[in-house]
Amino acid sequence: MKITKNDVEKIAHLASLEVNNFKVDKFAEQINKIMQYFDKLKEVDLSGASFVSDVAFQTNVLRKDEKKKSPGPDTTLANAPEKDDDFYIVPRVV
Amino acid sequence: MKINELTIYQARELLKKHELSSLNLTLSLLEQIEDLDKDLGAYITVDKDNVINQAKEADKKIAKGDRDNNFLLGIPIALKDLLCTKGLKTTCGSRILEDFVPTYDATVVLMLKNAGAVILGKTNMDEFAMGSSTENSGFHITRNPLNKKYVPGGSSGGSAAAVAAGMCIAALGSDTGGSIRQPASYCGVVGIKPTYGRVSRFGLVSYASSLDQIGPITKDVKDAAIMMNVISGHDKKDSTSANIKVPDFTSCFNIFKKNGLKGMKAGIPKEYLNLEGLDSDVKKAFLNARKILQDLGADIVDVSLPHLDYAVAAYYVIASSEASSNLARFDGVKYGFRDKSADNLIEMYKKTKSHGFGDEVQLRIIMGTYALSAGYYDEYYARASKVRSLIIKDFSNAFNKCDIIISPVAPTPAFKIGEKIDDPLRMYLTDVFTLSANLAGIPGMSVPCAVSSKGLPIGLQIMADRFDEENILKAGFGFEQNSDMPKNIRNNS
């Protein structure tokens, strides 16, 4: 299936990316080439295959629900691009 | 030998005997960086302010007698710039993290510091570890120290180049699809991707969480084992870290010295040697390596990895999908770059990501988002995850017949700068021998094995079953001692 420029724009929007016309063209061409290669996965006989999302092969890791000291707002907000006291500042939402 | 070219254990001996100080060792590395790194671009940050103090502190401890027997005491180590270092800029090779200064150390960094290491600086990499040539860094490219027209490999190209050029004693890298082993091979040094779960990833900036692993890049196999001893072990802060005993990885060398590789079965997947695009120098080097291992006592057995042909496609679907999820956190709110020209929140997210991430990162985010989106999830992500289970099964069947699997590290030696940068798919195919180890979670090592007709190094890959790094190190050590790889290849640069 061919991925159109329109598809690239739609997916970029889903991923919160802004792509200009030049990049849409470039990405559409590259993605089509790569997706065509990915299509070889359709040749594989999947009988006997199972869904694997990781290779840790572990049971769930639990920890005790204990109170611990937090790093505090100064540390947590140390890298914030914009802050006011203990709050992150973001542009208008509504 | 110049002191910047020492291995860990050689430097350790001299430091212990007070024939060398950590300060002098550090100064010689800083001098080498000053002389070479303008051209090579292996480092993003050299911690000049701090490194001298760290070395002086180490010297004080050595003078008192190094009571804790810290193996890295006073040894300067470089870190790939995706490992968080408290108070020291960590960029991940990306403009989006250009000014990011972590407030904590990654667990591996703490382990190095606890073992006495001097943290020299942070090395260049493909942005967010996405790339195989270190040409995708948001800052500058890194050149191969053995021939500056060639790439050092990637994404840990900065670490491999720094080790190869004597600009650090050893380094850490990370490997999601070959990013330690391939640059190690291209630069003529040793690199290990440990078993998934062997080394904590707390404080590693994530790319593809089911595949990422941290490991050492060193001048030889013995140093790799020493580094593995320091960084391995369970960490409560990483829920994928395995709670199993860590052996002394250097003890397998004595077993080799006693018995050679007698009794070891080395498997060669029949699919590997018929691979399209396998360079004739690489094939010749590999066949020669097989003979050396055989002469050391290893039995060569035929094995099969029938789904090898699908590994690259499965890998890139899975890695891009996980990346699209992991990189969503860089939204210009909590840390990193923010585009301040936007006047609403959604526009701020979009502008921040588009101006902060490079093109390859954006391409993979788009591919991953597509592979996970409604209507395509089954066709791409779910299918790739099922193919992954078949690849895991292939390896497990193979390891019923052998102790190690040997292969080339990459289909060709290092390629020229610019040669593949505009063709992502061609770049992805350079990972064909390495990425299946990440899909299966098994360990793999690259050890130098030959020099190509153009004078570029070629690596041998040795893989083993999960948590069996010892067999890899034993075979690698034996191979290194007996191969005809020129010992001075790095110093001819």
pLDDT, average across residues B213-222: 98
Contacting residues of B for A58, CB less than 8 Å apart: 197, 239-240, 242
d(CA B52, CA B74): 11
* B317 vs A2 pLDDT, higher one: B317
Residue B217 has pLDDT above 90, yes or no: yes
> Cβ of A70 under 8 Å from any chain B Cβ?
no
What are the structure tokens assigned to B315, written together? Answer: 């890998």
pLDDT the model gives residue B295: 97
* pLDDT tens for each residue of A4-44: 999 999 999 999 999 988 899 999 999 999 999 999 999 99
pLDDT band at B488 (very low <50, low <70, confident <90, very high): low
Residue A59 has pLDDT above 80, yes or no: no
Nearest beta carbon to residue A79 from set B334, B353, B388: B334
B361 to chain A, closest Cα gap in Å: 11
pLDDT the model gives residue B63: 94
User: Chain A to chain B, count of Cβ pairs less than 8 Å apart?
Assistant: 168
Asked if A78 and B313 come within 8 Å (Cβ–Cβ), the reply is no
Annotated domain spans of chain B: 3-263+403-492
**Nearest residue on chain B to A20, alpha-carbon basis:** B354
Contacting residues of B for A66, CB less than 8 Å apart: none
Asked if B344 and A93 come within 8 Å (Cβ–Cβ), the reply is yes
* pLDDT tens for each residue of B433-464: 999 999 999 999 999 999 999 999 999 999 99
Asked if A38 and B103 come within 8 Å (Cβ–Cβ), the reply is no
Nearest beta carbon to residue A55 from set B210, B348, B350: B210
A65 to chain B, closest Cα gap in Å: 14
What are the structure tokens assigned to B306, written together? Answer: 């029938």
pLDDT the model gives residue B273: 84
Q: Which residues 418-457 of chain B have a CB within 8 Å of chain A?
A: 424-425, 428, 439-441
pLDDT, average across residues B293-300: 98
pLDDT the model gives residue A1: 64
Asked if A12 and B366 come within 8 Å (Cβ–Cβ), the reply is yes
Q: What percent of chain A has pLDDT over 70?
A: 97
For residue A37, what is the domain's CATH number?
Answer: 1.10.20.60
pLDDT, average across residues B193-207: 97
* pLDDT tens for each residue of B244-267: 999 999 999 999 999 999 999 999
* pLDDT tens for each residue of B144-169: 999 999 999 999 999 999 999 999 99
pLDDT the model gives residue A2: 87
Nearest beta carbon to residue B210 from set A38, A46, A54: A54
Active site residues of B: 80, 155, 179
- Quote the ipTM score: 0.95
The reply to whether A12 falls in a domain is yes
The reply to whether A63 falls in a domain is no
The reply to whether A65 falls in a domain is no
Q: What percent of chain B has pLDDT over 70?
A: 99
Q: Which residues 27-46 of chain A have a CB within 8 Å of chain B?
A: 27, 30-31, 33-35, 37-38, 40-44, 46
Contacting residues of A for B317, CB less than 8 Å apart: 38, 41
* B68 vs A2 pLDDT, higher one: A2
Residue A40 belongs to domain spanning: 1-44
Residue B493 has pLDDT above 50, yes or no: no
A49 to chain B, closest Cα gap in Å: 5
What is the topology classification, in CATH, of domain B3-263+403-492?
Amidase signature (AS) enzymes (3.90.1300)
pLDDT the model gives residue A62: 84
B61 to chain A, closest Cα gap in Å: 30
A23: enclosing H helix or E strand: helix A21-38
Q: What is the mean pLDDT of chain B?
A: 96
> Cβ of B197 under 8 Å from any chain A Cβ?
yes
pLDDT band at B486 (very low <50, low <70, confident <90, very high): confident
CA dihedral B409, B413, B416, B417 (to 10 degrees): 30
pLDDT, average across residues B195-205: 98
d(CA B84, CA B314): 29
B105 to chain A, closest Cα gap in Å: 13
Contacting residues of A for B393, CB less than 8 Å apart: 48
pLDDT the model gives residue B485: 84
The reply to whether A58 falls in a domain is no
Asked if A23 and B385 come within 8 Å (Cβ–Cβ), the reply is no
B306 to chain A, closest Cα gap in Å: 11
The reply to whether A88 falls in a domain is no
The reply to whether A19 falls in a domain is yes
Nearest beta carbon to residue B373 from set A11, A16, A71: A11
Contacting residues of B for A51, CB less than 8 Å apart: 382, 385-386, 389
pLDDT the model gives residue B183: 98
* pLDDT tens for each residue of B327-336: 999 999 999 9
What are the structure tokens assigned to B52, written together? Answer: 């001298």
> Cβ of A94 under 8 Å from any chain B Cβ?
no
Nearest beta carbon to residue A52 from set B340, B367, B385: B385
Residue B491 has pLDDT above 80, yes or no: no
Peptide bond into B373 cis (omega under 30): no
Closest listed residue to residue B83, CA positions, set B211, B172, B158: B172
pLDDT the model gives residue B65: 85
pLDDT, average across residues B80-94: 98
pLDDT, average across residues B331-356: 95
Residue A63 has pLDDT above 90, yes or no: no
pLDDT the model gives residue A57: 62
Tell me how many domains chain A contains.
1
Residue B424 has pLDDT above 80, yes or no: yes
**Strands lying side by side in the sheet with B118-123:** B43-46, B118-123, B76-80, B170-175, B213-218, B190-193, B444-451, B457-464, B404-408, B265-269, B299-303
